[in-house]
Structure 1
Amino acid sequence: MSTNALYADLSIYYDLMCTDIDYSAQSHCIQRLHQIFGNQKKQHLDLACGTGAHIRYFLNQAYISTGLDLHPAMLAQAQVRCPEADFILQDMSDFNIGTHFDLITCFLYSLHYNQGIEKLRTCFDSIYNALNPGGIFCFNWVDKYKINNKHFVKHHLTYENALFTFCSRWYYSGQGEMQALRLSIEKAHPDHTYLWQDEHPMVAMGIQELNDFLQPHFEVHLFEHDYDKIVPWDQVSGNAIFVCIKS
């Protein structure tokens, strides 16, 4: 099954797959970073917004939010969750909305969905062009050199009389500009079980490399991947939160 087919067919289960994510803590952390580094305005764009779970928390804090995603089924659910927000069907690798923003976000490592370094470059160009002066771009990133191919996360829950098991893991071969996000969803009934598996190609880069990559256009600040407190990145861990100020 292709990458797009997985999300198109299973978009109804996307929120179940992400049920262990603390959207409130993530959103609040980025709002705090925006208060520290931003221009104190609240025009907000969320890239790869999915079903709008993060946007809901920004709207609750009086942000004027827009969501962008490549999957119509996701956007349909996001519009129901956040009727006061605008949603746009575009590819974040090369988008043009015609509006400028004070804060652009991309959660859940979704910036990795850019298909290669050149796509990532055009994505950053689009982000830079869409930011107001003093606007910031916040996202999280995993360092390709720190990926443990054996590590995975898994959780279970019951929904519609079925037991769901969601599993995800990063994989990097050790060379090249692409890594993979491997996903599986198992839906078990008493008498039968369905299994979906997929591998999403993701752009790969080290944190220090990405920092250098961003420098020409942004003032970059790196923080530990900890949404409960704001701590500078220790230059050792394999995850970081990037805050990029339009220079």
Structure 2
Amino acid sequence: MNNLYGKNLAWVYDEIYQGFIDYKAEYDFYKTLCKTHNAISILEIACGSGNLSESFTNDFLNYTGLDYSEAMLEIAKTKFKKGNFIQGDMRKLNFTYQFSTILITGRSTSYLIEDIDIQNTFNSIHKALEPNGIFIFDCIDAAHFMPYILKNKNIIHYSNVNNKIFERESVWERYDSTKSHLVSWKSKYYDTNKNDKILIGEDSAIFRTFTNQEIQTNLLLSNFQLLHTIDRKTYAFNTKVYVCRKITKNIPIQGA
């Protein structure tokens, strides 16, 4: 896990990203998809500091927020005391009940670095879903992002939230030429509310971007039917959202 989600920097994420992401628009996007597919019980994987949690709880019968980071969950529990939050790993979910809908939000599939990580995650989610349950997740689209970082290795984003201005300086580069879709990311976070910029945190991580073909292949292998995809821009880069249905029998791969 990168430093941003740990004990020392979780508060940086929670505050600064309020200025990066329009969480109302983010929630409305997922709410529409969930309502379209008649969601009742929702598991949001990578719920982070709970920016969508209260809205989900208000609009749906049953909501659970899951995150790997205990520090992020502590913030979520502080902000929304009535929320149902648990710590867990998306690669090995362990529920005694099933959900009608499971989401992975915030492009958190980016942390599934190895092929086995994505396979274990999809298989784990399949088991946690009710029959014909819906699985919705987003990925950083390699076809758009890899050419982008070749031209934009150094990027600055500004966050204006609660009458405060923050700055994030990021450096992106390919991580390993043998694994063309891995990206090394280093960032520095500054408080710019005074005359001098004050460094408030540094972070680094390895991210994975995905091609459409590898996602579709892994969905088939994990017994998911792809219903449709949505090309979606975020504040930083292009993503692709996948809407899938759990199936209990293998779908033959065309041409096999």
- Do both share a fold (TM > 0.5)? yes
2:254 is matched with none
Residues 168, 31 of structure 1: alpha-carbon distance in 2 compared, 3 angstrom cutoff: farther
1:183 is matched with 187
Q: Deviations over 1:209-238 (max 9, x none)?
A: 2122212311112112169xxxxxxxxx95
**1:60-209 alignment, distance < 5 Å:** 60-147=58-145, 148-149=148-149, 150=152, 152=155, 154-157=157-160, 163-168=165-170, 171-173=173-175, 175-176=178-179, 178-188=182-192, 189-190=194-195, 193-209=198-214
Q: Deviations over 1:47-106 (max 9, x none)?
A: 111111112221121341111112111101111223232211112222213231111111
Residues 72, 21 of structure 1: alpha-carbon distance in 2 compared, 3 angstrom cutoff: same
2:54 is matched with 56
2:2 is matched with 3
Which TM-score applies when normalising by structure 2? Answer: 0.80
Greater shift, 207-216 or 184-193, is seen at 184-193
Residues 175, 239 of structure 1: alpha-carbon distance in 2 compared, 3 angstrom cutoff: farther
Q: Deviations over 1:179-212 (max 9, x none)?
A: 2344321134546722533221123321222122
What SS does the aligned partner of 2:60 have?
A: coil
Note the C-alpha offset of 1:118: 0.7
Alpha-carbon separation, structure 1, partners of 2:98 and 2:5: 32
- What CA RMSD, in Å, does the superposition of the two structures yield over aligned residues? 2.7
Q: Is the 8 A contact 1:45 1:66 kept in 2?
A: yes
Residues 50, 168 of structure 1: alpha-carbon distance in 2 compared, 3 angstrom cutoff: farther
Q: Answer yes or no: is 1:222 the counterpart of 2:229.
A: yes
The share of aligned pairs that are identical, in percent, is: 24
Q: Deviations over 1:139-191 (max 9, x none)?
A: 1111223221116350143779x752124565435541532344321134546
Q: Is the 8 A contact 1:45 1:101 kept in 2?
A: yes
Alpha-carbon separation, structure 2, partners of 1:3 and 1:57: 27
Which TM-score applies when normalising by structure 1? Answer: 0.82
The one-letter code of the counterpart of 1:180 is S
The one-letter code of the counterpart of 1:88 is I
Alpha-carbon separation, structure 2, partners of 1:132 and 1:168: 40
1:23 is matched with 23
What SS does the aligned partner of 1:93 have?
A: helix
Q: Give the unaligned 5+ runs of structure 1.
A: 228-236
Q: How many residue pairs were aligned? A: 234
Alpha-carbon separation, structure 2, partners of 1:32 and 1:3: 31
Q: Is the 8 A contact 2:5 2:13 kept in 1?
A: no
The one-letter code of the counterpart of 2:204 is E
Residues 50, 108 of structure 1: alpha-carbon distance in 2 compared, 3 angstrom cutoff: same
1:212 is matched with 217
Residues 6, 89 of structure 1: alpha-carbon distance in 2 compared, 3 angstrom cutoff: closer
